[in-house]
Structure 1
Amino acid sequence: MDFIDELRLLATRISTTRDMVSTEEATKNSMIMPMIKLLGYDPFNPLEVTPELIADVGTKKGEKVDYAVLRDGKPIMLFECKKSGADLHINHAGQLFRYFHVTEARFGVLTNGLVYKFFTDLEQPNKMDEKPFFEFNILEFRERDVAELKKFAKSKFDLDIILATANELKYTRAIQARLSEWVTQPSEDFVRLVSSDLLGSRRFTPAIRDQFTALTKRAFEQLIGARINERLKGAMTAETVSIASVASLPAAVSVTNAQESATNVAPVTEIAGLINTSPEELEAFHSMRAILRDVVPSKRLFMRDAQSYCAILLDDNNRKPVARLRFNNTQRLRLGLFGINKEEEVVDLSCVDDIFNHADRLKTTLAFLLSAGDAVAK
């Protein structure tokens, strides 16, 4: 059974039994321990999960964090649990703050069995941030949320990969939340900002404010509708793309020259106002950098977004495609893979994290591009 299917089963069970769970202990047993187990950690094995971990902090003795998930005998995640439906305000995470400071764990989780808030130390080393970089709601999640949660699974856990995207994820989601508020209820300051150039010398009276608040909401709706339509058009546009065949060329002939002879290479183009790089595309880009960092420095990999696909390029050269992200159809994530002397092969992804299943293929493509470049240099 796939990870997402197991999550759905747990969500179904929790939704039908949540009204029967009224204490913190019951929440731990029926909601939180199953989630920890779903992530691949055995809650009954003290080498993997330690309940009520004790780590004295200063003058405070005997305090306990509810669960510590261990790796190689050291804590990597700390869980502080509240009863089902309880408020998860940061003021209720005092013990989590203290234990984060005195253990080697880089992630703290505050949960009531329904919502899981993940924290780390992005603002100041070894001090847990006051705002989570990721939240997961077991009763209301999307595929991209599952992809983020899956990174914490035992089989996928990679500290560097999670931290590489945590900062971007935190602020991207915060900006999205603010923009979402402005879409439905533009603040007066925002309306003043967008209308300032339009009003000229006219005063921003209450009547003007009401008029431009309505206009701003309408403009947002129309802009979002237009973007959706463009994405749908891009998803339905048939494309034939390939990298140049080099089988019949001498070894010293460059990939650049070979590709110039191809007739069906689709260049990456950008059309102002129609390009919208999504969080999934950014996450995929950082995942590829993590996969390929032992082949080339990360700074040599670039992302160039286009209307119908997002290209991952070596040295920002569209004649050196490593892969293509075909994520513009939000209901279907697809990855374009390149091979020597082959057209682009498009594969489906159940989530962004599935890119790691194609790590060997990506490394092979990159190695070919690098070796071809070396041949030219000689």
Structure 2
Amino acid sequence: MELTNQLKSLADKINQLKDKIETEESTKHAFVLPFINMLGYDAFNPLEVVPEFTADLGLKKGEKVDYAIFQNGDPILIVECKSWKENLTVHSSQLFRYFHVTKTRFALLTNGIQYQFFTDLDEKNKMDQKPFLEFDIVNLKENSIIEIAKFHKSSFNVDHIVNNASALKYTKEIKKQINDELGNPSNEFVKLFANKVYTGRLTEKVLEEFKELVQKAFNQFISEKINDRLNAALNKETIKQKAEQIEPIEEESRVVTSEEEMEGFRIIIAILRRKLPVNRIICRDTQSYFGILLDDNNRKPLCRLHLNGGKKHIGLFNDNKTEVKHAIQSVDDIYQFEKELLETVGLYEME
């Protein structure tokens, strides 16, 4: 929990300061060194953190990596830093050269916001082309925090991290393949399912038809699974809220929440949970609209659903928190406004 809070504080600091950070050196001191300190290493102790660590390459002398973290007299992690404005992809080859002349099994390439951890899974003492752990510190997921904690001084174990790195690397690659297939299914992927349900000959025309069907089926399946879990969570939360309710609000006593409104609410949660924990997305039903708020705060409306009249609308909020209504045919049309809903969350994050 302490590491989670420290990482969140650093993320807040980065969001506040990054536009004022102009150089690579400033990035190191403002963003990277605090991260190293969070891992339990004293940046001012030369026995633990060595800046400008020498990594001579054959006849090429004077090559230095920005930091080397030591434990028991041996380097356990070399760190190459770039300005927060730079794309890390073009710099991995530089770290690749440093890796094989040091004794470490791990290398970190970072611009203070994006972090890429490498090891030598493919060939011993030769840094892999792809990182086994990669994250954005201002948009951290819980599983990434768990992996970061393994590099903490108090729990660092080379064998444990290396053994886990293989699973992380291939899990990430598999997730990428799944994402690609869901976005644009390959013929092989389509055939896998078409062969199980279609008895005719898989012509090019049939495959093209099944491509759309497979994509649609998978997206619906995922959406339904999410909705089932959210429905269970919402029912549990509703029971809890009723138990804690001391006195009813007279204005809301005549309000009847429809199943269609709850279905719309579950779709909103499915979209916004990419940026927000579910417990921060709260609904309030009124006689004129079904409101969805951030942190149950009337000053932070996320959207409104107008579903009980003759025509259905979704109300979205602009920079001035003014509601703009958009006509929809059914609650499924809410998915068309994913970008706008996520942008509304971003407005409150900037406050």
TM-score (norm: length of structure 2): 0.62
Structure 1 pair 202–154 and aligned structure 2 pair: CA distance change class (3 A): closer
2:220 aligned to which of 191, 201, 222: 222
Identity %: 45
RMSD: 2.6
- Counterpart for residue 169 of structure 1: 168
Q: Distance in 1 between matches of 2:234 and 2:163?
A: 33
- Counterpart for residue 87 of structure 1: 87
For 1:124, give the aligned amino acid. Answer: E
Structure 1 pair 223–145 and aligned structure 2 pair: CA distance change class (3 A): same
Residues 208-228 of structure 1 deviation map (CA, whole Å, 9 limit, x = unaligned): 454322211221123223444
Q: Distance in 2 between matches of 1:141 and 1:187?
A: 31
Query: Unaligned 5+ residue runs, structure 1?
Result: 239-329, 333-378
Query: Unaligned 5+ residue runs, structure 2?
Result: 237-276, 280-351
Residues 56-97 of structure 1 deviation map (CA, whole Å, 9 limit, x = unaligned): 1112110100100010121100111111031111x5123322
Runs of 4+ in 1 over 6 A off after TM superposition: 232-238
Q: Distance in 2 between matches of 1:161 and 1:202?
A: 47
Tell me if 1:204 matches 2:235.
Answer: no
Q: Kindly report which structure 2 residues correspond to 1:266-277, keeping only aligned pairs within 5 A, or say none.
A: none
Moved more, 97-106 or 146-155: 97-106
Query: What is the Cα deviation at residue 40 of structure 1?
Result: 1.1
Q: Distance in 2 between matches of 1:69 and 1:218?
A: 49
SS at match of 2:40: coil
- Counterpart for residue 369 of structure 1: none
Q: Kindly report which structure 2 residues correspond to 1:155-304, keeping only aligned pairs within 5 A, or say none.
A: 155-197=154-196, 198=198, 200-205=200-205, 208-228=206-226
SS at match of 1:65: strand
SS at match of 1:102: coil
- Higher relative contact order (CA closer than 8 Å, sequence separation 6+): 1
Q: Distance in 1 between matches of 2:103 and 2:204?
A: 54
Q: Distance in 1 between matches of 2:78 and 2:230?
A: 42
Q: How many residues align?
A: 238
Structure 1 pair 202–188 and aligned structure 2 pair: CA distance change class (3 A): closer
Query: What is the Cα deviation at residue 158 of structure 1?
Result: 1.2
Residues 36-66 of structure 1 deviation map (CA, whole Å, 9 limit, x = unaligned): 1111111111111001111211121101001
SS at match of 2:116: strand
Structure 1 pair 64–225 and aligned structure 2 pair: CA distance change class (3 A): same
- Counterpart for residue 53 of structure 1: 53
- Counterpart for residue 40 of structure 1: 40
Query: What is the Cα deviation at residue 331 of structure 1?
Result: 8.1
Q: Distance in 1 between matches of 2:21 and 2:199?
A: 57
Question: Hey, which of these two has a bigger chunk of helix by percent?
Answer: 2
Tell me if 1:103 matches 2:102.
Answer: yes
For 1:46, give the aligned amino acid. Answer: P
Q: Distance in 1 between matches of 2:122 and 2:135?
A: 21
TM-score (norm: length of structure 1): 0.58
